Amino acid sequence: MLTKLLSGDSPRSVILSALLIAVLVCLAFAPFLFPGVRALETAATICIFIVLAASYDLLLGYTGIVSFAHTMFFGLGAYGVALASTHMGRGFDALIVGTVAGAVLAAILAAVIGLFSLRVRAIFFAMITLAVASAVAVLVSQMSGLTGGEDGLNYKIPRELTPAFKLMDDKLFGVRVNGKLLNYYLVFLASFALVLVMLRVVNSPFGRVLQAIRENDFRAEAIGYHVVTYRIIATCLSAAIAALAGSLYAIWLRYVGPDTTLSFEIMLDILLMVVIGGMGTIYGAILGAVLLVLAQNYLQDLMEGAVPAVEGLPLLPELLSPERWLLWLGILFILSVYFFPTGIVGRLRKPRA
């Protein structure tokens, strides 16, 4: 039953299984285990970034294509919900319309980009996605009439998903049972389902073909698979799921803006999550997302705390300031690509392989 749920792709490592179960349990009971607004925010963000990173892994890890437009697709889903909620008024119908529209648009856009670049050379894809994504980001911040520009959009979501909605008067295990809690479980369950779907995809015959293409595209073509078609389908799928993650994020935050959805920093975070966790495993994306979101939320505080300790020393305060977070991410990124190309999951699975 469990194996079937995981599409036959078991973690194949005791430690990895334990870690994944821990992540699942922590997220499933996060509101009760870790009280407080900030902890719940972090847990929801982790859920969403797990989906986002895993959908990126579908592309990077399973087809070997680098895309820099993943945040654009993420943003499409988020802005879809935001715009629908703004223009249709608060309601579940707006959420659904926005989500579906975002995912469909993302898939179409991905198909168009794929047709232009993957047909010629896979490396075109990285360059073209970077160009298109940054053009879209600029466009979004300029078209302030529609998108709110740099300020982004605030909008109302159904009352049932907000703290104002009370399900029970009493607290349950010391936690208020309100719309916020419902919202969290919407995010959690949707994320959980999406991860299972992705596991299903990569372990299907389709997923096997993708991996064959990644290993040797000439041979895959020679065996008779139309490589470009497979790559484009993978791109569309990955884009649509990223858009769904974006919709969840928009529902959770009740706000979208370029910084929270489209920024290049998020793109780098996703890359790092997948690479550190282990490309081509889905499970790696889960661990990578957990690690990175936690680090981002708590490690930066630590760095801030360290600055006074090195006050007066040359250069060190600047290097350790939380604003230089990206510097350390960059170094970590390079090192992990060199020395750790299979990521955490690869390392954990190695002894058994």
- Give me the least distance between CB of 120 and another protein, in Å please: 5
What is the Cα–Cα distance from 26 to 20, expressed in whole angstroms?
10
Q: Which is nearer to another protein, 122 or 209 (CB)?
A: 122
Tokens standing for residue 256: 């979208």
* Residue 60 near residue 210, CB atoms below 8 Å: no
- Give me the least distance between CB of 142 and another protein, in Å please: 5
Q: Directed axis angle between helix 227-253 and helix 205-215, to 10°?
A: 110
Q: Which of residues 100-119 bind another protein (CB under 8 A)?
A: 116, 119
Task: Give Cβ neighbours of residue 248 (< 8 Å, ≥ 6 apart).
Answer: 47, 48, 51, 77, 186, 187, 190, 191
Q: Which is nearer to another protein, 255 or 340 (CB)?
A: 340
- Give me the least distance between CB of 291 and another protein, in Å please: 17
Tokens standing for residue 128: 């073209």
Q: Which is nearer to another protein, 186 or 276 (CB)?
A: 276
* Residue 65 near residue 118, CB atoms below 8 Å: yes
Task: Give Cβ neighbours of residue 222 (< 8 Å, ≥ 6 apart).
Answer: none
Q: Is 310 in the site for another protein (CB under 8 A)?
A: no
175 bridge partner residues: 172
Q: Which of residues 249-308 bind another protein (CB under 8 A)?
A: 264, 268, 271, 275
The footprint of another protein on this chain (CB under 8 A) covers a number of residues equal to 41
Tokens standing for residue 175: 């936690």
Identified binder of another protein from the candidate list 18, 21, 22, 326, rule CB under 8 A:
326
Q: Which of residues 125-164 bind another protein (CB under 8 A)?
A: 126-128, 130-132, 134-135, 138-139, 142-143
Identified binder of another protein from the candidate list 124, 192, 255, 340, rule CB under 8 A:
124
Task: Give Cβ neighbours of residue 76 (< 8 Å, ≥ 6 apart).
Answer: 102, 105, 106, 109, 243, 246
Q: Is 327 in the site for another protein (CB under 8 A)?
A: yes
Q: Is 122 in the site for another protein (CB under 8 A)?
A: yes
Identified binder of another protein from the candidate list 338, 351, 352, 353, rule CB under 8 A:
338
Q: Which is nearer to another protein, 121 or 166 (CB)?
A: 121
Q: Is 315 in the site for another protein (CB under 8 A)?
A: yes
Q: Which is nearer to another protein, 21 or 123 (CB)?
A: 123
Identified binder of another protein from the candidate list 90, 176, 200, 324, rule CB under 8 A:
324
What single string gives the DSSP state of each residue in 158-202? -GGGSTT-EEEEEEETTEEEEHHHHHHHHHHHHHHHHHHHHHHHH
- Give me the least distance between CB of 282 and another protein, in Å please: 18
Q: In the stretch 32-71, what mask flags binding to another protein with x, by CB under 8 A?
A: ----------------------------x---x-x-----
- Give me the least distance between CB of 42 and another protein, in Å please: 24
- Give me the least distance between CB of 140 and another protein, in Å please: 11
Tokens standing for residue 117: 């670049």
- Give me the least distance between CB of 323 and another protein, in Å please: 6
**Dihedral angle sign, alpha carbons of residues 2, 184, 234, 344:** negative
What is the Cα–Cα distance from 170 to 184, expressed in whole angstroms?
19
* Residue 267 near residue 246, CB atoms below 8 Å: no
Residue 2 burial (CB count, 10 A):
6
Q: Give the footprint of another protein on this chain (CB under 8 A).
A: 60, 64, 66, 116, 119-124, 126-128, 130-132, 134-135, 138-139, 142-143, 264, 268, 271, 275, 315, 318-319, 323-324, 326-327, 329-331, 333-334, 337-338, 341
